[in-house]
């Protein structure tokens, strides 16, 4: 793989355990890191601080991908179709601004593509899309126990009842984008 082809994408779609598990299955994705972004409180926040909802940060993932294998546009389509972009500050039972739907762009081109993809998927949703599109300011890596959560804890209740159905949906909707395991 050529490092010239590597790009970063940063998405928040509810609990980062879910979005991390989804993107770890996509071909062309080299690395997925769970973390926090978009808050107004300076300094590296902790999971407990994020869960309070007081920092303004969202649970996000940062995806390193090879743009020769998968495009940013295709990653966004996966993102927009594997979580509910129509619920404000909520995904399933997870509620609060830390669970908001957000695309943090790294450059102007990503911003333009994000807005175009939202327009492209909009007709498929009954309700209005509330996904925010914002410039990435800073990304804080989450604590070690939040990395590779689904892979390390597949039988944990949340993984079985929340993440596994999202992965089943991914495998149905985006089979052609899956990495060969």
For the entire predicted model, the pTM comes to: 0.94
Dihedral (C-alpha) 88, 26, 59, 73: value to the nearest 10 degrees? -50
Query: What pLDDT score does 167 carry?
Result: 93
Q: What is the phi/psi pair of residue 129, to 5°?
A: -75, 130
Query: How many distinct structural domains can be found in the chain?
Result: 1
- Asked if residue 25 belongs to a domain, the reply is yes
**What's the angle, vertex CA 37, arms to CA 34 and CA 39, rounded to 5?**
145
Catalytic residues: 15
- Asked if residue 134 belongs to a domain, the reply is yes
- Asked if residue 84 belongs to a domain, the reply is yes
- Asked if residue 79 belongs to a domain, the reply is yes
- Asked if residue 60 belongs to a domain, the reply is yes
| Contact (CB, 8 A) for 37 and 10 | yes
- Asked if residue 180 belongs to a domain, the reply is no
Q: Which domain holds residue 43?
A: 3-175
CATH number at residue 147: 3.30.1060.10
- Asked if residue 109 belongs to a domain, the reply is yes
- Asked if residue 181 belongs to a domain, the reply is no
| d(C-alpha 154, C-alpha 156), whole Å | 6
Question: What pLDDT tens digit does each residue of the chain (181 aa) get?
Answer: 458 889 999 999 999 999 999 999 999 999 999 999 999 888 899 999 998 988 999 999 999 999 999 999 999 999 999 999 999 998 888 899 999 999 999 999 999 999 999 999 999 999 999 999 999 999 999 999 999 999 999 999 999 999 999 999 999 999 999 997 5
């Amino acid at each position: 793989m050529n490092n010239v082809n590597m790009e970063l994408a940063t998405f928040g779609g509810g609990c980062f355990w879910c979005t991390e598990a989804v993107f770890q299955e996509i071909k062309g994705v080299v690395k997925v890191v769970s973390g926090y972004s978009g808050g107004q409180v300076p300094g590296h926040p902790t999971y407990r601080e994020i869960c309070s909802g007081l920092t303004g940060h969202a649970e996000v993932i940062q995806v390193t991908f090879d743009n020769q294998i998968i495009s940013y546009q295709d990653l966004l389509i996966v993102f927009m179709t594997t979580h509910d972009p129509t619920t404000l500050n909520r995904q399933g039972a997870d509620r609060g601004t830390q669970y908001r739907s957000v695309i943090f762009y790294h450059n102007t081109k990503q911003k333009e593509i994000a807005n175009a993809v939202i327009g492209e998927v909009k007709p498929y949703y009954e309700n209005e899309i509330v996904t925010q599109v914002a410039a990435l300011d800073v990304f804080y890596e989450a604590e070690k126990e939040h990395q590779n959560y689904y892979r390390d804890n597949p039988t944990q209740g949340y993984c079985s009842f929340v993440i596994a159905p999202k992965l089943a949906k991914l495998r149905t909707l985006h089979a052609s984008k899956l990495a060969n395991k």
